[in-house]
Structures are given as C-alpha cells and as structure tokens.
C-alpha cells in the first residue's frame, strides 16, 4: 500500500512563498505520475499540477501557471510544489496524489493514492 505524507504548509503573507513536499513509501514511486490538488472551504477539490514519472512532462492549472513549479526526486521518493507569489485565493488544503498509470492526468478520478493534505493559509 502506497502512503503519501505532505509537509511544508503553513501561514504566509500575500506575495510570499512556500515549498510543499510529499514523501512516498510502500510503492514504486519512480513509476508513478504525481499530482497536486487543493481544496478550499466549501469548494470542490481541484487540480493544481502534475508531473510525469521521469519529470520530463509537467502540466499546470491556469491559475497557478508561472507561479507554481512541480518537481520530483525519484531517489528520495519525493515530489515538491514550489509556490511563489501566493495570494489569498491560494488558501486551501493541498493534497499530493499518485497515479499508477504512465499517463499524465488532471482528473482526480485517475489518481489511485492520496495523502492527508497540508493546510496553506495566505493572509492579506
């Protein structure tokens, strides 16, 4: 069973930065597509970013493109989300997810494993 544990969330002022990490265990991390999603209070969980197993392909939601960067270190079984120029609308619980297929996807249904989430709060 794959376990995903997010870290790095917290409180930051608008315009600031945070780096989220997601450590994986119990599976073959280097073969998984990895993604980040987020869920704000009262809203649906939405796609943020995804990265192919090799790291060679990435895809971002329009609202984070140019501000967020997803990356991975297969030797450390870890995926990262560097978040810059944060604004109050980025406040949400951020979830890491793993997809056993080799196809990069933005759809929640395609992801097989999920972490518990880490809270990101951006103050004005």
Q: How far apart are the two ends of the chain, measured CA to CA in Å?
A: 40
Residue 46's SS3 state is strand
The greatest distance separating any two alpha carbons of the chain, rounded to the nearest whole angstrom, comes to 40
Identify any residues that bridge with 82 across adjacent strands, giving them in sequence order.
19, 69
Of 103, 24, 19, 31, the C-alpha closest to 69 is 19
Going residue by residue through the chain, which has 124 residues, state the pLDDT in tens, using 9 for 90 and above.
899 999 999 999 999 999 999 999 998 999 999 999 999 999 999 999 999 999 999 999 999 989 999 999 999 999 999 999 999 999 999 999 999 998 899 999 999 999 999 999 999 9
Residue 104's SS3 state is coil
């Amino acid at each position: 069973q794959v376990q995903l544990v997010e870290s790095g969330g917290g409180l930051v002022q608008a315009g600031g930065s945070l780096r989220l990490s997601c450590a994986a265990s119990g599976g073959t991390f280097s073969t998984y597509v990895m993604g980040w999603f987020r869920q704000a209070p009262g809203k649906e969980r939405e796609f943020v970013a995804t990265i192919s197993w090799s790291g060679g392909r990435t895809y971002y939601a329009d609202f984070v493109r140019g501000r967020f960067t997803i990356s991975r270190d297969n030797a450390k079984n870890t995926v990262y989300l560097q978040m810059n120029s944060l604004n109050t609308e980025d406040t949400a619980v951020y979830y890491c997810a793993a997809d056993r297929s080799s196809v990069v996807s933005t759809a929640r249904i395609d992801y097989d494993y999920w972490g518990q989430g880490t809270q990101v709060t951006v103050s004005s």
